[in-house]
């Protein structure tokens, strides 16, 4: 049986959920969490694309959500699925919430079975929490 997870994305304006990505297996922090960190590390979220935009750039949270879905889903069937905002109770053990506040990309992790294995902070802090950096 796989460790299921949800990754939610909140918009940068009202902090409202805009999409939910379901992962069928490897949803634990050292699996999906590590892969999310590797993707998000060094990513900048802004408003407007120009010649000075950094290499890892998302033009808002909707753009970042699309980049993450594309990265994880690829062109294969199964494994990852998109659900409507607010979707819960689909067997997930972990919920990864990606949000943006005061020019800072943030991530919150909730373990639905163990409150001691939860996190809320910046992407850099997340890497330290995972013992990656």
71-80 pLDDT, tens digit per residue, is 999 999 999 9
Structural domain of residue 64, as residue ranges? 5-129
Rounded-to-integer distance, Cα 62 and Cα 114, Å: 30
* pTM assigned to the model: 0.95
Give me the number of domains the chain comprises: 1
- Residues of the chain with pLDDT below 70 are 1
Residue 55 has what pLDDT? 87
Residue 29 has what pLDDT? 96
Local structure of 80: helix, strand or coil: strand
| Percentage of the chain modeled with pLDDT above 90 | 86
Residue 1 has what pLDDT? 59
The one-character DSSP state at 31 is I
């Amino acid at each position: 049986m796989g460790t299921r997870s949800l990754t939610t994305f909140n918009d940068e304006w009202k902090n409202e959920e805009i999409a939910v990505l379901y992962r069928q297996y490897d949803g634990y922090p050292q699996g999906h969490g590590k892969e999310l960190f590797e993707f998000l590390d060094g990513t900048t979220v802004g408003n407007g694309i120009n010649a000075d935009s950094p290499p890892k750039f998302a033009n808002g949270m909707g753009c970042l959500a699309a980049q993450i879905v594309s990265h994880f889903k690829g062109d294969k069937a199964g494994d990852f699925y998109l659900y409507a905002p607010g979707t819960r109770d689909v067997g997930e053990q972990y919920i990864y919430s990606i949000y943006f506040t005061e020019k800072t990309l943030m991530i919150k992790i909730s373990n639905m079975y163990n409150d001691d294995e939860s996190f809320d902070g910046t992407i850099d802090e997340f890497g330290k929490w995972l013992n990656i950096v």
